[in-house]
Amino acid sequence: MRRLIVLAAAVASASSLLGAADAALIERGKAEEKRCVGCHSLTIIGSQRLSKTGWERELDKMVRWGSDIKDREALMAYLVATYGDGKPMPKPTLSADASASK
Amino acid sequence: MIVHNDFPEDLESLPEYLSTWITPNDAFFVRQHLPRPRTSAETHKVEVGGLAANKLSLSIADLRKLPQVSVPAVLECAGNGRSYFRPKMPGLQWTKGAIGNAEWRGPRLADILAKARASTKAQFADFDGLDVGVGKTPDFIRSIPMRKLQHPSTILALDMNGVPLPDLHGGPVRLVVPGWDGASWVKWVSRIELADKMHTGFYMNPAYRYPKNPVAPGSAAKPEDLDVLEGMAVKSFFARPADQTKVQLGTPVTLTGPAWAGEHNVARVDVSTDGGATWKTASLSAQGREFSWRIWKSEWRPAKPGYYTLCCRATDTAGRTQPIEPAWNPSGYLWNAVDRVGVLVEG
């Protein structure tokens, strides 16, 4: 029993370490995303909800079209964590005239 | 407008902007693949070349000297409603409003092709606009077959709803291909190239293609099983009431919205106020010309308080009707499910 508890504690602290590493990776990915603005704004990225495979395909397409990604691993981690297919859709952004009419 | 992207501009109309026959220019959806080019009505030229005996370079003034026709027609993005497909796919996450009806005016393509003395070998014309891709992004070029270009309603629009075509909508000149997906309606047209084969660029293949036979949701389709998208689907939706509206018992509620059917005409719109269990036929505005939409209407007097699911469903002259579940397809085109809104009636 005791051994089990020790084991569980070890697993928990390892996963929180992993969590911190993930958070740092995701932070770097967020910075990498800012470099995606050469051809379009970031809004079109944040409105997608894609699986990991979906995001891999999307990045392949962007690279084919001339996007220069320096830190792909971090960008992927950020995209999947933030705009993964399980995430709820963002609230629509309304133009000033539309919000006025609401 | 709903802002899907501010650069390049991708703007969606709110459903309540779509309750009238004509959609005003500043409430009309905008969909740009590539950054908007700079041009002007004074300097713009349309070159006509390829398989034509008489190459042309036409100014906007030259185009205005040709016989002008007015074509009221719906423009709808092939991906309108994409956000409703499951599993989701990449692309603009449009809801209902990547659609509008406007009066387009300008010369017929048939007259321009006759002036250019198009060869009988020409099967397609490739339309290119002044917009260009950044980096290695492909240029936006669309091939339209001759049979559609010879149709008397296929025009180069110079005006939209009575004013010179705004540059946000492709001014000074855009192609109007009534009944077909918005991708065919090339903006800022600068070159028309007659050819014996379809253009092979990205925006003809693999983009804007649809499976010949339905595929399982989430699966890929082989390139040879995809066809170029042409005519649009039959569709109606609620412009009003908005989803999740609250109304007071005793006040009649007007249910209304547009209905259209691509290259066919709308025959009927049915509405349900009980989630599709029973249906009633709505009234339709006088038949416009083909290719434009009709406004359907039905008065509803809820009998008691509660939450109601309202549905509308159009049927066209070809016998097509809106499905409960449109066929999933890899690019998320032609969403046309029976539309629904929820209304809470308070006693």
* pLDDT tens figures, B26-56: 999 999 999 999 999 999 999 999 999 999 9
Q: Same fold for the domain at B2-228 and the one at B235-346?
A: no
Annotated domain spans of chain B: 2-228, 235-346
| Residue numbers in A near B10 (CB within 8 A) | 44
Amino acid in position B339 = D
Q: Specify the CATH number of the domain B235-346.
A: 2.60.40.650
The reply to whether B342 touches chain A by the CB within 8 Å rule is no
| Residue numbers in B near A94 (CB within 8 A) | 1-3
Neighbours of A51 (CB within 10 A): 15
Please tell me the predicted confidence (pLDDT) of residue B258.
98
* pLDDT tens figures, B149-186: 999 999 999 999 999 999 999 999 999 999 999 999 99
- pLDDT (tens place) for every residue of chain B, 347 residues total: 999 999 999 999 999 999 999 999 999 999 999 999 999 999 999 999 999 999 999 999 999 999 999 999 999 999 999 999 999 999 999 999 999 999 999 999 999 999 999 999 999 999 999 999 999 999 999 999 999 999 999 999 999 999 999 999 999 999 999 999 999 999 999 999 999 999 999 999 999 999 999 999 999 999 999 999 999 999 999 999 999 999 999 999 999 999 999 999 999 999 999 999 999 999 999 876 789 999 999 999 999 999 999 999 999 999 999 999 999 999 999 999 999 999 999 99
- Our CA angle for B62, B175, B50, nearest 5°, is 70
* Ranges in chain A, pLDDT < 50: 1-2, 4, 6-7, 10-12, 100-102
Q: In whole angstroms, give the CA distance from residue B324 to residue B339.
A: 9
Strand pairing class (B226-228; B209-211)? antiparallel
Contact A38 B135 (CB under 8 A): yes
Q: Out of A38, A48, A54, whose CB is closest to B134?
A: A38
Among A35, A55, A65, the residue to mutate for chain B (most B Cβ within 10 A): A65
Compute the half-sphere exposure of residue B136: CA atoms within 13 Å on the CB side of its CA: 9
pTM score? 0.94
* Residue of chain B nearest A64, judged by CA positions: B136
Interface of B with A in 56-95 (CB under 8 A): 83, 87-90, 92-93, 95
Residue B153 vs residues B109, B264, B289: alpha-carbon distances, Å: 9, 14, 10
Please tell me the predicted confidence (pLDDT) of residue A102.
41
Ramachandran assignment for B241, one of left (phi > 0), alpha (psi -120 to 50 degrees), beta (any other): beta
Please tell me the predicted confidence (pLDDT) of residue A21.
82
Please tell me the predicted confidence (pLDDT) of residue B312.
98
Residue B90 vs residues A9, A58, B190, B231: alpha-carbon distances, Å: 41, 8, 30, 23
**In terms of Cα–Cα distance, which of B83, B85, B81, B80 is closest to B328?**
B85
Q: In whole angstroms, give the CA distance from residue A7 to residue B92.
A: 47
Among A40, A41, A59, the residue to mutate for chain B (most B Cβ within 10 A): A40
Contact A39 B88 (CB under 8 A): no
ipTM: 0.91
Chain A / chain B CB contacts < 8 angstroms: 71
Q: Look at the domain B2-228 and name its fold.
A: Sulfite Oxidase; Chain A, domain 2 (3.90.420)
Contact B10 A94 (CB under 8 A): no
Please tell me the predicted confidence (pLDDT) of residue A15.
53
B148 in helix, strand or coil? Answer: helix
Neighbours of B334 (CB within 10 A): 22
* Residue of chain B nearest A97, judged by CA positions: B1
Q: Out of A47, A49, A67, whose CB is closest to B4?
A: A47
Q: What phi, psi does B81 have (nearest 5°)?
A: 85, 5
